[in-house]
Amino acid sequence: MELLHQPGQIIAERYRIINTLGQGGIGITYQAEDIQNHQQVALKALALRRMTEWKVLELFEREAKILAQLNHPAIPQYIDYFQVDAESDRGFYIAQQLAPGKSLAFLVENGWKPHEIEVKRLAIQILEILVYLHNLTPPVIHRDIKPQNVILQENGQIFLVDFGAVQDTYQNTVTGGSTVVGTYGYMAPEQFRGQAVLSTDLYGLGTTLLFLLTQKSPADLPQRKLKTDFRPHVSISQDFADWLEKMLEPIIEDRFPSVNAALSVLRGEQAINNFFSQKPRRPKNTIISLTETEQNLVIEIPPVWLATPHSKLFALIPITWNGFLLLLLWIISASNSSLSFSGILFLSVFAIIGIWIICIFLFSAAFRTQIEINHQHFQLKRWFLLGYHQQMQANRSDITEIKRNPIGLKMNKQPITVCLLRIKLHKHRFGTFLMESEKEWLIGEISNFLAHSVG
């Protein structure tokens, strides 16, 4: 990338260019001097005529907006965002505190080989920064943690820099952002799909630590079943290797559930086994929507109708019962015979039972169900099309049991179950017609959330 400015050039009558710090996908960062107070700054520049798409400017402006909201001693302080018009171009600039020190990439390239204790110390510092970022409202995901973006000072303290790939989770999850950003070798697998979650930063940190330990790009290490096979290439303790392997899990659900969890294990405050959940994986092609944060779990179960084998099996019951009733009525009508009182009573009871069976089937097949659990409350809602609405609320602490409960029937020699949630003395059932794998997955997710989230 051709440089926009040369040493000695003054920008906006305030910043004198000293040197080039780095070049990336959405700009060039310069070391500059603020001639008003003679302090050195990092000046990130982007030229309009060199942009290949408007998304680049969007990312640049988003970086400035989020940096202006951050206040952490290990994140260079935001100073200004401005633009400068030239005769045939427009430049956009972000001015930040200049982070003193050298990047981890520079130090390794110049022979630095940190020991396990040093790597752990760096990991704890970066995790503490991520705790701050992920606890913001909305949480902020850095998305590009790599050796070039971690600056180590002589006193051992670090700075996390270059928020050009930063994403707040509102933008990412609500508007469905799909831009692939990050650096190959340090990107979590979900980033290749244009997605990012909080544990995406854990993967980036894991690959950065792996670079320090192996002196190689993680992309150059062998893989086994989509996992980076790093153990033969490092000389570290078993506990730290286990921790690092969990950070590098390619499947989101297999990583630590939060930065706090990863930090507590690294500090020895919790055992890593607490986070090796045996809960089932999300079934393929499930219609269920599940959204989970550290504080909240929301499950949406749309109407099943006849989409599963269970619902098709149970649909035969009202069809058979009411079909038999219609057959009796047709026989009676065709024979022109009159019914006795007992015969009318029998048919009436038979018809009532048939209507009751239809209602039971519709209650399980046509209702939309929502379950929401946070650190204090539990709520279950059901809707029938656009009409009937049912709601139940309770304190989270009142939940005494969550399990799959057999209903006494089998399909393919396997028992048919229903999800049962006990709130003190009351039982609430849901998911009757879901696949058994979906029920098992839901029970595992709810149980895991109740066990590990803040309550």
Q: What is the pLDDT of residues 327-338, one digit of tens each?
A: 988 988 888 878
Is the model's pLDDT at 168 over the cut of 60? Answer: no
Is the model's pLDDT at 179 over the cut of 70? Answer: no
The order of strands in the sheet holding 158-160 is 102-103, 150-152, 158-160
C-alpha distances in Å from residue 55, one per residue of 28, 243, 357? 16, 36, 56
Select which of 80, 144, 162, 168 is catalytic.
144
Q: What is the pLDDT of residues 336-356, one digit of tens each?
A: 878 888 988 999 999 999 999
Q: What is the pLDDT of residues 419-438, one digit of tens each?
A: 999 888 888 999 999 999 99
| Average pLDDT for 191-206 | 90
Average model confidence (pLDDT) across the chain:
87
Q: Which of 293, 292, 242 is nearest to 271 (CA)?
A: 242
The verdict on whether 242 is a catalytic residue reads no
DSSP label at 131?
Answer: H
Fold exhibited by the domain 10-97: Phosphorylase Kinase; domain 1 (3.30.200)
**Least reliable range by pLDDT among 158-172, 240-254, 286-300:** 158-172
Fold exhibited by the domain 102-276: Transferase(Phosphotransferase); domain 1 (1.10.510)
Q: Which residue has the tokens 């009937």?
A: 388
pLDDT, residue 25, reads 59
Q: What is the pLDDT of residues 82-99, one digit of tens each?
A: 999 887 889 999 999 999
Fold exhibited by the domain 297-303+366-452: PH-domain like (2.30.29)
Residue 325 phi/psi, 5-degree rounding, is -60, -45
How sure is the predictor about 171, in pLDDT bands with cuts at 50, 70 and 90?
A: very low
Is the model's pLDDT at 175 over the cut of 60? Answer: no
Rounded distance between C-alpha atoms, residue 95 and residue 157, angstroms:
22
* 43 touches 15 (CB < 8 A): yes
Is the model's pLDDT at 26 over the cut of 70? Answer: no
Is the model's pLDDT at 400 over the cut of 80? Answer: yes
Higher pLDDT, 248 or 28: 248
* DSSP characters over 17-28: EEEEEEEETTEE
Is the model's pLDDT at 24 over the cut of 50? Answer: yes
Q: Which residue has the tokens 């996992």?
A: 227
Share of the chain above pLDDT 70, in %: 93
How sure is the predictor about 167, in pLDDT bands with cuts at 50, 70 and 90?
A: low
pLDDT, residue 401, reads 86
pLDDT, residue 453, reads 58
| Average pLDDT for 180-196 | 80
